[in-house]
Amino acid sequence: MNVKLFLSSLFFLLALSQASAQDDLLKQLDSIKPKEKQAETLGFKGLQICNMQSTKVTAKGEWYVLISHRFGDLTQGFNNFFGLDDAYTKLGAIYGATDWLSIGASRQTNNKIYELTAKYRLKNQEADGFPVSIVGYNTMDINTNLSTDQYPYLEFNNRLAYTTQLLISRKFSDKITLEFAPIYIHKNLYDETTERKDQFVVGLGGRYKLTKRMSMNLEYAPRIDAPENDVYHNLLSLGLDIDTGGHIFQMVFSNCQTMNDVYVFSNATGKWNGGSLYFGFNLYRVF
């Protein structure tokens, strides 16, 4: 009896080992999982969604040269040739100092503003791991258009304005990425009747990929407890990204013509229903 049991169990084991020997070798490899959790691939192609920043941070050693244009009011038609007459330009560069930190500087036409920026990745979205990417972003504006003719008691710190932003995004699928960004704006010089010294803004943005190299972007940034007036409106922009390899080309329709973050989020002068609208583009060249 015992011998029989032993024999049959041996047969069973033999059959089992034979079966496993014939098992697909690839399947055995398939069971190997990467040790570390993989960072999810990027949710945005551009450093910007339209006007607001995306959670993309440049890699170490990368140079991005930025050329942005916003034409004048599109709604005036032939009077200003659909905005061609009063274009604003922003020129700048962004450098990846490390894999998680990039610094940038730019200058734009409007108010001759120099903008210094720092963007730093705090956490990456992971495949089957951490659900969102978190990036910090700071800007400092230096308004060099202000003069003592206009403000006799002007001091240097009156020229400065800041934003502090926390960009949180999630890539929901290959096509859809959404971003949520609490933003804090501080202005040293401001107009009490239309602006606040400290303004909170909620930035909302997203992209929808149309093809491998094109995506549609949308952003909306409601101000919290903004002063009641008709001068400034909440930012709303629609954009199209075209990735051509070394370039990212972003076409933008927005109710904001200026391109420094302080103005973008708190001083948008246009309005989608019955106000001014602006067409423009951001062009990034990667070196």
Partner 1 sequence: MKKIIVLLVFIFLGNTIFAQKMMTRTGQIKFEASVPSFDPVAAVNNSVSAILDESNGEFAVLALVKAFKFKIPLMEEHFNENYMESSVYPKATFKGKILNFDASKTSASKKYDLEGDLTIHGVTKKIKTKIDVAPKDGKLYVSGDFVVKNQDFNIKIPSLVKSKVSEDVAISFDLVLDEK
- Residue that is written with structure tokens 């409007």 in the block: 110
For residue 170, how many C-alpha atoms fall within 13 Å in the half-sphere facing its CB?
7
- Residue that is written with structure tokens 């990735």 in the block: 243
For the CB of residue 54, give the shortest distance to partner 1 in the complex, in Å.
13
For the CB of residue 245, give the shortest distance to partner 1 in the complex, in Å.
5
Q: What is the DSSP letter of 233?
A: B
Nearer CB in complex with partner 1: 62/86: 62
For the CB of residue 18, give the shortest distance to partner 1 in the complex, in Å.
7
> Phi/psi at 264 (nearest 5 deg)?
-55, -45
Nearer CB in complex with partner 1: 174/191: 174
Nearer CB in complex with partner 1: 6/151: 6
Contact residues for partner 1 (CB under 8 A)?
3, 6-7, 10-11, 13-14, 17-18, 21, 24-26, 28-30, 32, 34, 38, 41-42, 59-60, 62, 174, 212-213, 243-246, 286
For the CB of residue 61, give the shortest distance to partner 1 in the complex, in Å.
8
Please name the residues in contact with 94: beta carbons below 8 A apart, sequence gap of 6 or more: 47, 58, 63, 64, 66, 102, 103, 104, 117, 119
Q: What is the DSSP letter of 127?
A: T
**Hey, what amino acid is at 40?**
E
Nearer CB in complex with partner 1: 166/286: 286
Nearer CB in complex with partner 1: 215/255: 215
